[in-house]
Structure formats: structure tokens, C-alpha cells
A = this chain, B = another copy of it.
Amino acid sequence: MKALKERILRDGKCFEGGILKVDNFINHQMDPVLMKSMAVEFVRRFASTDINKVMTIEASGIAPAIMVGYLLELPVVFAKKKRPSTMENMLTTMVYSFTKDRSYEVCVSRDYLCPGDRVLFIDDFLANGNAAKGVIDLVQQAGAELVGMGFLIEKAFQHGGDYLRQQGIHVESLAIIESLENCEIKIRE
């Protein structure tokens, strides 16, 4: 997606260890007009998909997911990274974060991820795919069906996308980063 690629090249910041920071327009400050355009692009790419629920993980996935849900007029569920004290009837899974070198629990209520749900998962980044694997686990536990996964930015060199596509999952990434070597951002054409 042209507008996103241009924005990454303009405002993205590259750090040692394959880290791309997009705090200027996605992860801390957000550009809502770009967010809506990205949501429109997801709607286009998943146009032939029968979806009844959008799912994401807090916190950076919420903005793109709510925009997709708004355009499709579908409920949006965000999985939580901490088990809320007042929440019962939970599905949980563990996700290992390479960036933070620790595992965290991700949970969602069975009240909102249900048997028969046709789930489009939306998130900001696809890197190693560990969060995505956690989502696959939650969707399976719920007896729901994962009909697609959409990411704003995929880091191809961390191969989570390869894994997901090998599983036959319909994956769409709006910008694919080929490499961040020598802190130079190379985006797939």
C-alpha cells in the first residue's frame, strides 16, 4: 500500500536488532486518516471473505481493528495481555515476545469468541508470528474459524508470514519489510 510505504520511509526509525519504530503514526502517536485508509485496503483485500467478527490484541492493534470493524459494521474483540480480575469464562494462551524476551499470557472471553465465529484478525506488526500463533490457538480453543489475518507491517526477514502462509492462512500485509540491515529500511515493491 503506497501511502503506508511512503510514510514508513519518511517517519519510520530503524534500530539495531531489526527493530523498526513507527511511533510517529502507529504505535504511540496515530494518524487516524491513514488508519482509515489502511482499513479500507483490508476491506478490499478480504472482500471475498465471509467475516462476522474482527479480532485483535491490545494495544496497538485496536486502532486498525476498530476502523475495519467500523467499515464492515462488525463487532471487534480485543484479546487482553493480562487476565482481568473480574473476567470469567476465559480462553488463554502463552505468547513469547522476542523483542522483550519474555512470555506473556493473552486471553479472551468465551462470551465474545464463540463456536462458529468467522474471525478476521488484524494487528500492527507481523514479525516472528508468535502473537499470531497465540491467536490461532485461541480461535481453535473457541471452536471458531480463522478466515484471515491482516497486518499493517510484516517483517519478512523474521519469517512469521512464511509460517502462517504455509498453514494455508490468508495473510495480507500492507507493507512488507525485506530488510533492516545497516539500519536501512528496504520495503518490498
Question: At the interface, yes or no: A87 with Cβ under 8 Å from chain B?
Answer: yes
Known A59-B62, A63-B63, A87-B23; judge A76-B109 contact (CB<8 A): no
**Interface secondary structure of A, over-half rule:** mixed
Contacts of A33 in B (CB 8 A): 70, 73
Alpha-carbon gap, A70 to B64, bound state (A):
12
Alpha-carbon gap, A15 to B74, bound state (A):
28
Q: Once the chains bind, are A23 and B111 in contact (CB under 8 Å)?
A: yes
Contacts of A23 in B (CB 8 A): 87, 109, 111-112
Contacts of A35 in B (CB 8 A): 66, 70
Closest to A112 in B: B29
Q: Once the chains bind, are A29 and B75 in contact (CB under 8 Å)?
A: yes
Of the listed stretches A78-86, A144-152, A167-175, chain B binds A78-86
Alpha-carbon gap, A63 to B90, bound state (A):
22
Closest to A25 in B: B75
For A69, give its contact among B24, B32, B69, B78 (CB under 8 Å).
Answer: B32
For A30, give its contact among B15, B78, B80 (CB under 8 Å).
Answer: B78
List 21 A–B pairs whose Cβ atoms lie within 8 Å, in order of A's numbering: A19-B86, A23-B111, A24-B112, A28-B78, A28-B80, A28-B87, A28-B109, A29-B75, A29-B111, A30-B66, A30-B69, A30-B75, A30-B76, A31-B75, A32-B70, A32-B74, A32-B76, A35-B66, A35-B70, A63-B63, A85-B100
Binding site for B on A (CB under 8 A): 15, 19, 21, 23-24, 28-33, 35-36, 58-59, 62-63, 66-67, 69-70, 73-78, 80, 85-87, 100, 108-109, 111-112
